[in-house]
Amino acid sequence: MPIDVAAHVVANRALSTDYNVLSLAAPGLTATAAPGQFVMIKAGHGHDPLLRRPFSIFEVLRDERGTPTGISILNKRIGVSTGLVYDARPGQRVDCLGPLGRPFTIVEPPSEAWLVAGGVGLAPFAELATALRGRAVATVLFYGARSGAELFYLDFFRALGVELVLTTEDGSVGERGRIVAPLDRRLAAQPAASAVMVYACGPEGMLAATAKAAARHGRPCQVSVERLMGCGLGGCYSCVVPMRTDDGRLHHVRSCIAGPVLAGDQIFWD
Ligand SMILES: Cc1cc2nc3c(=O)[nH]c(=O)nc-3n(C[C@H](O)[C@H](O)[C@H](O)COP(=O)(O)OP(=O)(O)OC[C@H]3O[C@@H](n4cnc5c(N)ncnc54)[C@H](O)[C@@H]3O)c2cc1C
Ligand code: FES
């Protein structure tokens, strides 16, 4: 069950001029949080913005005994709300509703897990990778950004034993170009008998390309979609995604309650 809390900001770490990690004390909220779920946050108290905004749960924070104490979010500043999250100060209260939505389905060995992240789409993968590595699942993170300065938490994933495949648009780190290119090559080279689950989060064009590449190579793919969300609870229909039923018909789902994690091959991408 989601709960609504006025969460204290315990830390705000700037990663760049656009990205930060905001840590929130919210013990009750973490009790049932699963990788891929999100929270609806409002960091300001005026009427602009009026509505909360969705953010993936980046990390579940724990004390020295391992008891969950709160969450962090990985934020990219693009507008008013994300600007307020970037500027939030320790001690400030942030309205926080969650955990919300359907999480990723986590595979077991011998299946491998290939995580595909574009930019701030890295956000749900810290907890997902932790859960996968806790089950000893061989995990690869395909992570693309505009430049090397926008590739974050690489040491965190390395410490978990996650293999990293990196791309940048300016070629400053890893392969130059988009992340779907090395993914596609690796999918083509993977023996058909080995099981792979593809997980993706990032801009819609990247999600579509990833889902189509996975489908072309006969691999299942879970995508975390980022639609505009007014309520996060199924009430406003701002977040609908066109999907196909098993018999090929079009229907629309509210991605805040049916998702944000959806089957990539069931979404109408065009
Ligand atoms: C389930 C979910 C999880 C998310 N997790 C994160 C996260 O962990 N970290 C993070 O930084 N962001 C995340 N987002 C995106 C985040 O919610 C938006 O960036 C935020 O709502 C923008 O609010 P704003 O007031 O700053 O920008 P606004 O002023 O509302 O918008 C600024 C500009 O960005 C566009 N825009 C707004 N939202 C989106 C969107 N979702 N996709 C594409 N364009 C958009 C607007 O059309 C406008 O042009 C997530 C979105 C969803 C649906
Ligand atoms: S965000 Fe309101 S119905 Fe999905």
- Contact criterion met (CB below 8 Å) for 101 and 256: yes
Mutate to test the pocket of ligand 1, among 74, 102, 206, 226 (most ligand atoms within 8 A of CB): 226
Q: Report which bound ligand comes closest to the CA of 258.
A: 2
Q: What is the mean pLDDT of residues 222-246?
A: 94
> Would you say residue 51 has pLDDT above 90?
no
Nearest bound ligand to CA 238? 2
Mutate to test the pocket of ligand 2, among 40, 41, 256 (most ligand atoms within 8 A of CB): 256
3 state SS for the chain: CCEEEEEEEEEEEECCCCEEEEEEECHHHHCCCCCCCEEEEECCCCCCCCCCEEEECCEEEECCCCCEEEEEEEEECCCHHHHHHHHCCCCCEEEEEEEECECCCCCCCCCEEEEEEEHHHHCCHHHHHHHHHHCCCCEEEEEEECCHHHCCCHHHHHHHCCEEEEEECCCCCCEECCCHHHHHHHHHHCCCCCCEEEEEECCHHHHHHHHHHHHHCCCCEEEECCCCCCCCCCCCCCCEEEEECCCCCEEEEECCCCCEEEEHHHECCC
Ligand 2 is surrounded, with C-beta below 6 A, by 229-232, 234-239, 254, 256
| 46 close to ligand 1 (CB < 6 Angstrom) | no
β-partners of residue 6 are 95
pLDDT for position 63: 93
Ligand 2 pocket: which of 40, 239, 253, 262 to mutate (most atoms <8 Å of CB)?
239
Q: What is the pLDDT of residue 21?
A: 98
Per-residue pLDDT at 175 exceeds 90 = yes
CA 83 to ligand 1: nearest atom: 26
* pLDDT score at 56: 98
Sign of the C-alpha dihedral, residues 151, 98, 139, 196?
A: negative
Tell me how far the alpha carbon of residue 141 lies from the centroid of ligand 1, in angstroms: 23
**CA 76 to ligand 1 centroid distance, Å:** 8
Give the pLDDT band (50/70/90) at residue 9.
very high
Note if the pTM is more than 0.85.
yes
pLDDT tens figures, 99-145: 999 999 999 999 999 999 999 999 999 999 999 999 999 999 999 99
Ligand 1 neighbourhood includes 120 CB (under 6 angstroms): yes
pLDDT of residue 102: 97
Residue 246 in this model has a pLDDT that exceeds 90: no
Q: Which amino acid is at 180?
A: V
Percent of the chain with pLDDT strictly greater than 90? 89
